[in-house]
Copies of this chain bind each other. A is one copy, B any other.
Amino acid sequence: MVDFMSELDVFFHPKSIAIIGASDTLKFGFATTKYLLDSKFKTFPVNIKKKEIHGHKAYKNIKDIPEEIELAIILIGNEYVLQAVKDCVKKGVKGIIIEAAGFAETGVEKYITIEKEIAQIAKEAGIRIIGPNCIGVTDFNNQFSSADMDFDKAIKGRIAIIAQSGVLGNIFVDWATDKGIGFSKTITIGNKVDVDEIDLLEYLNKDPETAVISLYLEATKRGKQFIKMLKKMEKPVLILKNGKSEIGSKAVNSHTGSMAGNDKIYDAVIKQTPGIFRVKNFYEMFNIAQVFATQPLPKGKNIAVITGSGSLGALACDEIEKQGLNLAKLSEHTISLIKSTIPNWVSIGGTIDLGPSLFETFEPSIKVIFEDKNVDSLLYIFSVPRWPLQMMGSMATKWAKHQFDLIKELTQKFNKPCVCVCFGSGWTFDFLRKAASLSNSEVNIPIMSRIKHAIIAFKMMYEFNQKLNKDLQ
């Protein structure tokens, strides 16, 4: 339960729910209906044709439900939504999630008008609306969801998503789950006739479950308030915005009926606002958010690279320089301590390239690297072929668990962030993630597949730390 009150609470902790267009056939809305009816949330199905849905009495109209309803979820076709909204007003709901598509984004005058009418009716009645053309919300804490969430798999974490696209509501969560990335809340806002990114940034800024916000935006309708809100944010916000190009901008218009606006203005605003960062794609967005959500902020720009592969280490160096950061220059003391433990064929240039000696040399090396005052963040590149891990069997798992226990302990002790970048097959990733999750520590070490994302995360987090220091002065 969040510790602040807001009109928007109804979307995350509804006391009672009506599903208008509840379905027991395999179509859009089926999974949400079944999940909510079987859940702890008091849910009533509304279906004009059926008397029963999944064993629950169905009502012809929301007005027929004999109890108070706080939240309505509308899953019916676009032609019928306006009437359903009017019924919701009569019933006295506090919030509506309209998932149906087929409004302003079609470009058809008739549907644009209906969308405007819905907005007007809700405004007059003081009802908050999310949508249309979305899949609504998921709260990973109390497990309320209108978005077909698979809570058996999904991971609770500290990243919130606000997105003008349904794919962020379940498909990318599904991707992220595979990668060990967890969320606090996700909200897809579609054509946003009412609740928009500004309302939600304000809400999530106060949400104790959320540490970092990922925002996928096609366009804002309230430019000045958007800028003002960004400046007020106390939490880091990662923004992915499309519609940069002329054709992309047209595509945005036919997606959520938004005008993408001048991309250069968005870009300038984001660059000028400390703590707000622009990302280039969804993978980058979630990988970086995961570092923000799980790691301490780096105090400086110096990154130490511990690698099992010299070529990947060299690629990391290129990226470090490109991002304006530094490869940490280890102290003579640290280097001599590492050299005393490694075989003569191991190469310690700028990066610490342990190669196949990793199994013996990782532990003594990582300890002295964390301790080194010239090191602000650690990038650990894991590139062990599959066969030695498979042949070592449970010994390999034990070794990997020990390795992560050590990293977690050192991360906390020295308050320095560490990211593990893993190369290889899905099997190798699963092996590492399982090993990382075996320890009891609450600390989580991100394991990702892109060196670039780890380094950009360190850069943004260093900038965020500078902003915090400035705000404190």
Provide the bound-state CA to CA distance between A255 and B350, in Å.
Answer: 10
- A394 interfacial contact with B, CB 8 Å: no
Q: How large is the interface on A (under 10, 10 to 19, 20 to 34, 35 or more residues)?
A: 35 or more
- A28 interfacial contact with B, CB 8 Å: yes
- A274 interfacial contact with B, CB 8 Å: no
- A273 interfacial contact with B, CB 8 Å: no
- A68 interfacial contact with B, CB 8 Å: no
- A355 interfacial contact with B, CB 8 Å: yes
Q: Is the pair A281, B315 in contact by a Cβ cutoff of 8 Å?
A: yes
> Hey, which chain B residues are within 8 Å of A355, CB to CB?
101
> Hey, which chain B residues are within 8 Å of A321, CB to CB?
244-248
- A24 interfacial contact with B, CB 8 Å: no
Closest-CB distance, A298 to chain B (whole angstroms): 18
- A141 interfacial contact with B, CB 8 Å: no
The 8 Å CB contact of A255, one of B283, B347, B386, B423, is B347
The 8 Å CB contact of A350, one of B250, B344, B449, is B250
- A327 interfacial contact with B, CB 8 Å: yes
- A313 interfacial contact with B, CB 8 Å: yes
- A177 interfacial contact with B, CB 8 Å: yes
- A43 interfacial contact with B, CB 8 Å: no
Given A250-B350, A317-B247, A318-B244; A310-B105 close (CB under 8 Å): yes
Kindly supply a per-residue 1/0 record for chain A positions 437-451, scoring 1 wherever the CB is within 8 Å of any chain B CB and 0 otherwise.
000000000000110
Q: Is the pair B425, A175 in contact by a Cβ cutoff of 8 Å?
A: yes
> Hey, which chain B residues are within 8 Å of A30, CB to CB?
388, 391
Would you give 24 A-B contacts (Cβ < 8 Å), ordered by A?
A31-B388, A31-B391, A78-B345, A102-B345, A107-B349, A108-B344, A148-B387, A165-B310, A165-B311, A168-B311, A170-B386, A174-B424, A174-B427, A242-B315, A245-B317, A245-B320, A250-B349, A251-B349, A251-B350, A253-B349, A254-B349, A254-B351, A254-B353, A255-B314
Chain A positions near chain B (C-beta within 8 angstroms): 26, 28, 30-31, 77-78, 100-102, 105-108, 148, 150, 163-168, 170-172, 174-175, 177-178, 216, 218, 242-248, 250-256, 281-283, 309-318, 320-322, 327, 343-345, 347-351, 353, 355-356, 383-388, 391-392, 423-428, 449-450, 452
Known: A171-B428, A253-B349. 14 other contacts (CB 8 A): A26-B392, A30-B388, A31-B387, A78-B345, A150-B386, A165-B310, A165-B311, A168-B311, A171-B309, A174-B385, A174-B425, A242-B311, A247-B321, A254-B347
